Amino acid sequence: MAKSFFHDIEPVPTAETFRILDQFNSDTNPNKVNLGIGVYRTNEGKPWVLPVVSSTETALAADKTLNHDYLSIDGMKEFYTIASKLILGADSPAIVENRVCAVQALSGTGSLRLILEFTKRFLPPKVVYTPKPTWGNHVKIARDAGFTDRREYRCYNKETRGLDLNGMLEDLQNAPEGSVIILHGCGQNPTGVDPSNEEWIKIANVIKEKHLFPLLDYAYLGLVSGDIDQDAFAVRHFVSQGIELGVAQSFAKNFGLYSSRIGCSFLVASSAEYVNTLRSQLKAIIRPMWSNPPVEGARIVTTVLSNPALLTEWKECVLSMSKRIKSARESLFQKMRELGTPGNWEHIMKHCGMFTFTGLTPRQVKYLLEKYHIYTLGNGRINMCIINPSNVEYVAKGIDDAVRNVTE
């Protein structure tokens, strides 16, 4: 019998967050807590279907004029138009001057992949920079888009557990002209450390001076401060400075549409004369990759953002999620202070968005898992959305125990 074509193929590990999820789901311990997965949860530990999303779904399902025909290759025009206005602002000079080329894409991952495929083809010197540390998929997406020259820039200070602004600016200063710089627009994953507005201004100055191409990843718009405009400060400031850029926008977290794969990729050009060419090239990349995007989630987002009453309701939902995340931070910090946990844990309160870099070592992470069935990423990142009144004391005691009794 001939040797199988598949004989020499080696298995590869499952992505860490999903490996943890599989392990968590098969864990029978009643006290188990999964702080590793990147999803929003209610105070009861349940997924939240936003009421405005639920009511909109019902209305759309009852609309007999809708069908399931293909969209255009670049997606639903009403969707990507209003999505770009949401993040840039309807009065953005880029919007007013028709300098934005937006297309519908497959949530955050697909949005990033599309722009990186584009930049790999057309932007010299074909170098991409990712934050150190960053979301694990960033590097993989850049790799599979064909970037062989992948570099990192500093952004996190382990000693202060805050932003390493000087290191970041130095690395950007040394980047080759035209390099693609992936930036977390807000809610840095995994650290929870965002630049202040003043620090974003300094970052923009270097990017403009060195003629770099920023690609801003917006997966958590609104969930950091609770205010869309504040969370969008970075990209709006970059645009105000005349910087050409790309944005990968996801509606998984702020609409709760995780499995709908709704995202928007857009490029901001220096002149409207480039937009038609950019659209043709993005469509040429999309056609052999996913060909056509899904319609249901796009209809939901478009309906909500286009209706003033629904938009107000959605913004209230986003604000409530942001407040709950901040409340979870405070409750965990207070419990650890009550326990007298060794070390300074004020970074839990200073960090923002869904995630916090705890500073736990790999051995302490392993200890938490084996003794307490508390799951975190190997780098110590935890999702603050999972903390709730039912588990905060258990989690705090587990961390306290690990810090006191496990040393490198």
- What percent of the chain stands above pLDDT 70? 100
Q: Taking residues 246-264, what's their average pLDDT?
A: 98
Band (pLDDT 50/70/90 cuts) for residue 74 is very high
How would you write the chain as a 3-class SS string?
A: CCCCCCCCCCCCCCCHHHHHHHHHHHCCCCCCEECCCCCCCCCCCCCCCCHHHHHHHHHHHCCCCCCCCCCECCECHHHHHHHHHHHHCCCCHHHHCCCEEEEEECHHHHHHHHHHHHHHHHCCCCEEEEEECCCHHHHHHHHHCCCCEEEEEECEECCCCEECHHHHHHHHHCCCCCCEEEEECCCCCCCCCCCCHHHHHHHHHHHHHHCCEEEEEECCCCCCCCCHHHHCHHHHHHHHCCCCEEEEEECCCCCCCHHHCCEEEEEECCCHHHHHHHHHHHHHHHHHHCCCCCCHHHHHHHHHHHCHHHHHHHHHHHHHHHHHHHHHHHHHHHHHHHHCCCCCCCHHHHCCCCEEECCCCHHHHHHHHHHHCEECCCCCEEEHHHCCCCCHHHHHHHHHHHHHHCCC
Q: Are residues 127 and 196 in the same domain?
A: yes
User: Which CATH number does the domain housing residue 28 bear?
Assistant: 3.90.1150.10
Q: Are residues 126 and 151 in the same domain?
A: yes
177-224: pLDDT as tens digits = 999 999 999 999 999 999 999 999 999 999 999 999 999 999 999 999
330 pLDDT more than 70: yes
User: Which CATH number does the domain housing residue 269 bear?
Assistant: 3.40.640.10
Tell me the pLDDT of the chain averaged across its residues: 97
Q: Taking residues 352-365, what's their average pLDDT?
A: 95
389 pLDDT more than 90: yes
Q: Has residue 221 been placed in a domain?
A: yes
Q: Are residues 373 and 286 in the same domain?
A: no
Among 306, 341, 375, the domain-final residue is 306
Q: Are residues 277 and 339 in the same domain?
A: no
Q: Has residue 274 been placed in a domain?
A: yes
347 pLDDT more than 80: yes
Catalytic residue among 194, 217, 231, 400: 217
96 pLDDT more than 90: yes
Q: Are residues 237 and 344 in the same domain?
A: no
297-322: pLDDT as tens digits = 999 999 999 999 999 999 999 999 99
396 pLDDT more than 90: yes
Q: Are residues 247 and 184 in the same domain?
A: yes
Q: Are residues 261 and 286 in the same domain?
A: yes
* Domain enclosing residue 223, as ranges: 77-306
5 pLDDT more than 80: yes
Q: Are residues 98 and 45 in the same domain?
A: no
Domain total in the chain: 2
135 is catalytic: yes
Q: Has residue 105 been placed in a domain?
A: yes
Catalytic residue among 48, 135, 200, 345: 135
Among 255, 280, 306, the domain-final residue is 306
Catalytic residue among 48, 253, 314, 335: 253
pLDDT at residue number 407: 84
Q: Are residues 167 and 282 in the same domain?
A: yes
Q: Are residues 274 and 386 in the same domain?
A: no
Q: Has residue 313 been placed in a domain?
A: no
pLDDT at residue number 1: 83
Band (pLDDT 50/70/90 cuts) for residue 408 is low
Q: Are residues 133 and 270 in the same domain?
A: yes
Q: Has residue 84 been placed in a domain?
A: yes
Q: Has residue 62 been placed in a domain?
A: no
Q: Has residue 83 been placed in a domain?
A: yes
Q: Taking residues 75-88, what's their average pLDDT?
A: 98
Q: Has residue 54 been placed in a domain?
A: no
Among 274, 306, 338, the domain-final residue is 306
Q: Taking residues 364-371, what's their average pLDDT?
A: 97
Q: Are residues 43 and 90 in the same domain?
A: no
